[in-house]
Amino acid sequence: MTVSQSKNETANLYDRDYYLWTEEIAKILRQGRFADLDVKNLLLEIEEMGKREKRAVESNLVVVLLHLLKYKYQPEKRSGSWEGSMREHRRRLNRELDDSPSLRPYLETIFDSCYQNAREQAKDETRLPVETFPVNSPFTLEESLNPDFLPEAED
């Protein structure tokens, strides 16, 4: 089989059986057969990995902010599940930041939009008017990431 045939076969495998494609690419890399790599799809996957990391931190931050809002503005409904969810999503965020510190500036740039998403979702989940929740986040990014931070109830 020629290098060209091997590349085409690997590229076709990408569309037919993604998991098997990843196994084959790993084998090709381990063997140092770089000429056989499906570079086009490999580049797509590497770029997508970065996007997935960004989406994961964004999603986890929205969940933390949502629960912080509910905790602050619906103190009568506080539950262990809210605290447990905040702890889990903070753990995920902090693990991502430990593994990829370069994501911190990204978190800082999306913090306000994540807060707006959490604010809208808090309105939906609590049935409180959106005006109940401040337009600007009452929490900082550092508070949001702090596993021990819980807001005081709003008077």
Res. 1 pLDDT band, cuts 50 70 90: very low
DSSP for 76-144, please give it: GG--HHHHHHHHHHHHHHHHHHHH-TTHHHHHHHHHHHHHHHHHHHHHHHH---GGGS-SS-SS-HHHH
Return the percentage of the chain with pLDDT > 90, whole number. 86
The count of other CB atoms within 10 Å of the CB of residue 60 is 23
Closest residue by Cα to residue 134 from 123, 125, 142: 123
User: Which pLDDT tens digit goes with each residue over 8-17?
Assistant: 777 788 889 9
pTM: 0.82
Distance CA 121, CA 63 (A): 9
User: Which pLDDT tens digit goes with each residue over 75-93?
Assistant: 999 988 989 999 999 999 9
Residue 22, pLDDT above cutoff 70: yes
pLDDT at 155: 67
Q: Which of 122-126, 134-138, 151-155 has the lowest mean pLDDT?
A: 151-155
If one compares 80 and 145, the residue with the highest pLDDT of the two is: 145
Residue 2, pLDDT above cutoff 70: no
